[in-house]
Amino acid sequence: MHQRAYKGQCAAEEVRHTSARAPIRNPRLALLALALGTFAIGTGEFGSNGVIQLFAADLHIAIPVATYAVTAYAVGVVIGSPAIILLGARVNRRTLLLGLIVLFLVGNVLSALAPNIALLVAFRFITGSVQGAFFGAGAVVAAYVYGPGRSGTAFATVMGGLTVATIVGSPLSTFIGQSVGWRAMYWTVVAIGLVAGAALVAWLPRTSDLRGNSITNELGALRRVDVWLMVTVAALGISSIFAVYTFIGPFITDAALRDASLVPIALAVFGVGMGVGNYYGGRVADRHESRGLVWGYGGVLVLLVLIGVGGSNLTILLPCLFGVGATMMFAIPTIQVRLTALSPDAPTLMGALNLAALNLANSFGAIGGAITLDAGWGPLSTVWAGFALTTAGLLLFLVTSTRGKSLSHSTRTTQPTLR
């Protein structure tokens, strides 16, 4: 998914290292360490959605209130990650990544110990602030480790950790949460994070070549209107994936009237769909500037209607869950290609903004779904919130795509060429 999305970003990073340098020892291990980090982060993010009913019951709150924890995580990515990137603009990227994984561990330990929803919300915000910064700094390190001409593929592999988290990490952690308690889910994430942290310490290269970037370059992206337009398109459109994923538990138990043991299976089905969409969406994004987004958004709108009308039938719900994951992931590479092409000179911040857009979508989807549930419209009503938000995102994209296409093209013509 991210091979082309981060290509411009990686190209800009390669220009910083045109001088000869010693070969990196065990580059695949360095890449694996980064992938373990994204796997841990993804497991924690999506695993929270899988146990939302459990901590709602344990903390004696309604599910709409419990979604505040999911929203807080997303807000942490949107606000906290860019702030960390700017504050640490000149910090060596290896040092920054190690600091981020420590903050990730602290946030999840505190989440596991949270005695009430107010503190859980605060701790999820802290944890969320790590995500975008880690992915952005990881893009820079992956570009350096694999060198000219291979950095896009390298970072695609790193981001594979997030996809694996949706297929394996999230269902497994949800199963553990159901079996032992929701707090055990966060302890599982801590254990994975410790392994990832040890790998980062052992395998990331120690070099001054991974020095930070100029804060002026990073801030330059924030002055570009088209960057914010694409962030808005992503935040609105992708929100439907979270209006579904966040509420898979109630879909299974309250709408389809099945046992909660099916929730991890439904999460895995959704994750497999994301993996399929990830693969084909990346290929389409390489060839077409907007087709992946239009097809993805249009496809998910059809699937949302099917869930809203017939989702109480498991034979309809499960294929549609697969389809929602696939169609949304089909759209995401196109979003990231267009967004990153607008500002490849701010590599770490653009990586953070990519994730900020998706987590703002997480917040919108969770809030929209909570509103429909709180209104008493039924467990499947969350899909209609997603339908409205994705429709708004698609319309905004169609209105602004001509401008975005023109400026995106002019930006790419001035980008450095991958060697």
pLDDT tens digits, 47-76: 887 788 899 999 999 888 998 998 899 888
Cα separation of 97 and 218, whole Å? 17
Token pair belonging to 181: 């308690």
For the residues 138-164, what does the mean pLDDT come to? Answer: 69
For 257: left if phi > 0, alpha if psi spans -120 to 50, otherwise beta; the answer is left
How many beta carbons lie within 10 A of that of residue 232, not counting itself? 17
pLDDT score of 225: 85
Angle between helices 347-374 and 7-15 (to 10 degrees): 150
- Read off the tokens for 99: 């600091």
pLDDT of residue 127: 95
Beta-carbon contacts of residue 205 (< 8 Å; ≥ 6 apart)? 24, 25, 30, 94, 144, 145
pLDDT at position 147 is 67
Give the 3-state DSSP-derived string for 36-65, with helices as H, strands as E and coil as C.
HHHHHHHHHHHHHHHCHHHHHHHCCCCHHH
Rounded to a whole number, what is the distance in angstroms from the first to the last CA of the chain? 21
Rounded to 5°, angle at Cα 400 from 395 and 405: 125
Mean residue pLDDT across the chain: 82
Whether the per-residue pLDDT at 248 is higher than 70: the answer is yes
For residue 326 the two structure tokens come to 């696939």
pLDDT of residue 284: 80
When computed from its CA atoms, the radius of gyration of the chain, rounded to whole angstroms, is 20
Q: 337-346: per-residue pLDDT in tens? A: 776 677 666 6
Q: Report the largest interatomic distance among the alpha carbons of the chain, rounded to a whole angstrom.
A: 64
| More confident position, 404 or 372 | 372
Give the C-alpha separation, 291 to 77, whole Å.
28
- What one-character DSSP code corresponds to residue 23? P
- Give yes or no for a contact between 159 and 17, defined as CB atoms under 8 angstroms apart: no
> Is-contact 100 138, C-beta < 8 A?
no
What DSSP string describes 120-168?
Answer: HHHHHHHHHHHHHHHHHHHHHHHHHHH-TTTHHHHHHHHHHHHHHIIII
Cβ count near 132 (within 10 Å): 30
- Which residue in 136, 157, 134, 234 sits closest to 3, CA to CA? 157
Looking up tokens 């001054």 gives 208
pLDDT at position 414, please?
44
Contact 14, 148 (CB under 8 A): yes
Q: How far apart are CA 186 and CA 191, in angstroms?
A: 9
CA–CA dist 101, 246 (Å, integer): 25
Quote the pLDDT of residue 4.
Answer: 47
**Whether pLDDT at 96 is above 80:** yes
Task: For the chain, give the percent of residues with pLDDT over 70.
Answer: 80
The pLDDT value given to residue 154: 57
Cβ count near 372 (within 10 Å): 22
> Hey, what are 284's tokens?
């389409």
**CA gap 50, 183 in Å, rounded:** 12
Kindly report the backbone phi and psi dihedral angles of residue 224, in degrees, each rounded to the nearest multiple of 5, phi listed first: -95, 115
For residue 317, pLDDT over 60 is answered with yes
* Residues in Cβ contact with 383 at an 8 Å cutoff, skipping those fewer than 6 apart: 240, 243, 244, 304, 305, 307, 308, 311
Q: What percentage of residues in the chain have a pLDDT greater than 90?
A: 39
155 — pLDDT class (breaks 50, 70, 90): low
Q: Please count the other Cβ atoms lying within 10 Å of the Cβ belonging to residue 83.
A: 14
